[in-house]
Amino acid sequence: MKEIKEGVKTYLELNKTDYALQINGEWGIGKTYYVKNVIQPFIESQEVNDVKGNKNKDNRYKFIYISLNGLKNVEEIGDRILFANLNGLETGFALTQSILKIGPGLAGLTGPLGWWSKLFSESALHIKKEIQSKSYKMLNLKQMVLCFDDLERIDPSINMEQVLGFINTNFVEHGKVKTIFVSNQDKVKDIEAFIEKKEKVIGRTLTYNRPITDILENYWSDIYKNEYLDFLNENIEFVKKSIEAASMNNLRTLRFTLDNFSVIFQSLDNDFFEHDEWLKENKRDILCNLFVFNLILSNEYKEGEEINLEELNFDSHSIYFRHLFEEQHLNKTSSKTEEYQKKIINKYFKNKIGYSIIKDFYAYFNQVGILVIDGVLNQKLLKDEITKYIPKEEKSMLALNQMFNYLTLELNEVRETAVDIIEHLKKGNYDVFHIPSVFQILNELKEKGYIEYDMDEIFKLANKEISSSFEGKNQIDGIPDLLFENKFNNKVQDEKYLELVSTIRELRNRYNEESKGEKMQNFLDSLHTMEDAEINNSYKDIQHEENWFFLINKTPFANTIVNMNNKGIGFFSSIIKERYVMPYANSMRQIESKDLDVFISNLKGSIDSVDDKLKTDVLKELLSTLEKALSLISEPLIT
């Protein structure tokens, strides 16, 4: 908030001031944190002007923070300033305050005790006034910068005009004390009186609207430590994007969220992740899944929303597509469960087709919900929930993993396991990435004399199964190049192993080129059937393709779309809006402009042949969306 700091600096540089500053902003967005951690150090680093307006290097401003929360009378303001300012006289001042509170309780006593109690209270009041008088004289008003926070939280028994009048008379106007109010003006109870008095007291209002994501690193570094702090810092971009996606901008809600996640994080020690290879490899994603689910529930809880925990146990992708489809059916009635799920989807998934950080990291954990709602976490049950996400290992992989540790086996166990592995290989039970390792471990055992097999025959069998795997076209879809290469052990130098890996690479490259069009066709076909599962699964296959319309133009879709029902056409139109009709579409989709233009031209020709007036209008609506998309992605890039 550069503007606020500059505004404060300008204010401090004025030799004499007769007005106060106001820093105004909504509750919970970090105003107080910003004032104490940014503005206070800045003010206390500034040199005080002397009477002539010159800087005094030996004298710097002293920032005095006073909360007005619960203030019941204006006299308390002076007391709070003294408490914030004094050291030596603080104890005596506090003692007289305590005596004054005891005095009224003794007022009803009669006889000698009553007389002594009256004298006691009068003496304490006199002492307090003396201490106040001497204390005020000790204050260096020129050096002070008073900061009054929580102006809107004063007790209802005192009016705003009295508070501002007292501060203005004693400090701002007559004392020329630099004064700052921190408040949420919209929450001031007597707003009319405040505005009227504000014009006489406050000369300038500075608006605080900084998103809480700007202060994350400094904020949590003051609160958390050790491994939990390391995790937050290492994943700060993920946390920021998740908070932004949830539209969370309340510092208290953020603290509640981070505190809850701290409990979750601390309950999952390294031994838990180390005991299973899948947990070990996916530790970061698991923690991100937990963070996202905790974020949603914590935000709902702090906003006072009812949390129906069991109804949040859904697959984020499938239910999202069902919801998007149902938006096309305005007359469809939904159950309470469906309505609740729709509310969560609209609020946190942001109606985005494709990548959405909350949708993509959404996973259900019942124990996280219990922690948020009841404040109790059952560590064992949480770990059980997490382990349920571990993919079930097939018998084929159990045998292979056992063989990798053959030194722990007896010779007869090695030979029995080898028989099992070869049978699994013949039956096609290994995915294509494990076949080179199957050959490599069997070859190693053969060279050591532990098993007797014709390795040339095993090599032929491995090649055959690799080819069969690509014919199935179900094992290598959607795997990025880097992850694909990580599937293989680059330390193995066995020639036959490397030859099998090379074969897989070649077949994968060929398959990728051939399959893109097929995947797009499957997606377009799913729009005809409008089955949730088909749309969801086929969309996942093509969502990250860069040039949709290059692939679409290889299909007859521009002609067959006129035979699609209107619901399917409307659904396709909604997908186009999500993908192309958005800010900065030209920077992401400009490569598709020529192919989109071709599709539009082909679609226009098809529309001319349609006799159905309603369908024609639906198709023209789609055409309008496509033309708008073309206009956006064709805009020149700003360099």
Give the model's pLDDT for residue 599.
Answer: 94
Would you say residue 72 lies in a domain?
A: yes
Q: Are 300 and 276 members of one domain?
A: yes
Q: Residue 527 falls within a domain, yes or no?
A: no
Nearest alpha carbon to residue 597 among 634, 563, 560 = 634
Determine the pLDDT at residue 386. Answer: 93
Contacts 24+ apart (CB under 8 A), 615-624: 615/562, 615/566, 615/569, 618/566, 618/569, 618/570, 619/561, 619/562, 619/569, 621/570, 621/573, 622/569, 622/570, 622/572, 622/573, 622/576
pLDDT band at 492 (very low <50, low <70, confident <90, very high): confident
Q: What is the CA radius of gyration of the chain?
A: 35
Residue 22 in any domain: the answer is yes
Examine the domain organization and report whether 555 and 614 are in the same domain: yes
- Report d(CA 180, CA 150) in Å as an integer: 12
- 40 with 174, same domain? yes
361-388 burial, b at 16+ Cβ within 10 Å, e below that, comes to bbbbbbbbbbbbeeeebeeeebbebbee
From 146-160, 262-276, 409-423, 502-516, the region with the lowest mean pLDDT: 502-516
Q: What is the C-alpha separation between 625 and 580, in angstroms, rounded?
A: 9
Q: Is the pLDDT score of 328 beyond 70?
A: no
Q: Does residue 520 belong to any structural domain of this protein? A: no
Would you state the pLDDT for residue 297?
Answer: 95
Rounded CA-CA distance 148/632 in Å is 50
Alpha-carbon span 240 to 350, nearest angstrom? 16
Q: What is the mean pLDDT of residues 352-359?
A: 66
Which one, of 226, 152, 153, 229, lies nearest residue 191 by Cα?
A: 152
**Is residue 28 assigned to a domain?**
yes
Contact 530, 571 (CB under 8 A): yes
Q: Could you report the per-residue pLDDT of 295-322, keeping only the tens digit for each?
A: 999 999 999 998 988 888 876 655 555 5
Domain count, the chain: 4
First-residue to last-residue Cα distance in the chain: 27
Q: How far is CA 363 from CA 292, 616, 618, in A?
A: 8, 42, 37
pTM over 0.75: no
Q: Which of 210, 230, 257 is the last residue of a domain?
A: 210
Q: The domain spanning residue 75 has which CATH number? A: 3.40.50.300
Q: What is d(CA 253, CA 372) in angstroms, rounded to the nearest whole number? A: 12
Quote the DSSP letter at residue 87.
Answer: S
- Tell me what the pLDDT averaged over the chain comes to: 82
348 and 253, same structural domain?
yes
What are the residues whose beta carbons fall under 8 Å from the beta carbon of 459, sequence distance 6 or more? 439, 496, 500
Condensed to tens digits (0 to 9), the pLDDT of residues 29-87 reads 888 888 999 999 999 999 887 655 566 666 889 999 988 888 888 888 887 887 776 55
**Residue whose C-alpha is closest to residue 151's, from 162, 135, 141, 143:** 162
Q: Do 430 and 563 share a domain, yes or no?
A: no
pLDDT, one tens digit per residue, over 471-487 is 755 455 545 565 667 77
Name the E strands within 408-557.
Answer: none
Residues 379 and 473 in one domain: no
Average pLDDT of span 486-506: 85
Residue 529 resides in a domain: no
> Quick one: 170 and 91 in the same domain?
yes
**Residue 367 scores a pLDDT above 70:** yes
Same domain flag for 283 and 187: no
The pLDDT of residue 428? 87
Tokens, residue 309: 């925990």
Give the residue among 141, 137, 136, 135 at the shortest CA–CA distance from 92: 135
Which tokens is 252 given? 């208290």
Does 240 lie in the same domain as 100? Answer: no
pLDDT in tens, 183-232: 888 888 878 878 888 888 998 888 888 788 888 888 899 899 999 999 99
Note down the domain range covering 451.
395-513
What single DSSP character describes residue 48?
Answer: E
Residue 135 has pLDDT above 70, yes or no: no
**519 in any annotated domain:** no
Same domain, 185 and 283: no
Domain boundary among 170, 192, 210: 210
DSSP symbol at 590: G
Higher-confidence residue: 471 or 17?
A: 17
The tokens describing 47, both together, are 């040199």
Cβ–Cβ under 8 Å, residues 458 and 439? yes
Beta pairing partners, 206:
23
What's residue 310's pLDDT?
Answer: 86
Q: Judge whether residue 19 has pLDDT over 80.
A: yes
Query: Residue 469: which residues within 8 A CB-CB, separation 6 or more?
Result: 428, 431, 432, 435, 475, 476
Domain boundary among 181, 210, 239: 210
Clarify whether residues 167 and 32 are in a common domain: yes
User: Comparing C-alpha atoms, which of 314, 311, 289, 307 is closest to residue 370?
Assistant: 307
Q: What is the pLDDT of residues 75-124, one digit of tens each?
A: 888 878 877 765 544 444 444 454 444 445 544 545 454 544 555 455 55
Q: Which of 575, 584, 467 is nearest to 523 (CA)?
A: 575
Q: Is residue 263 part of a domain?
A: yes
Q: Are residues 299 and 364 in the same domain?
A: yes
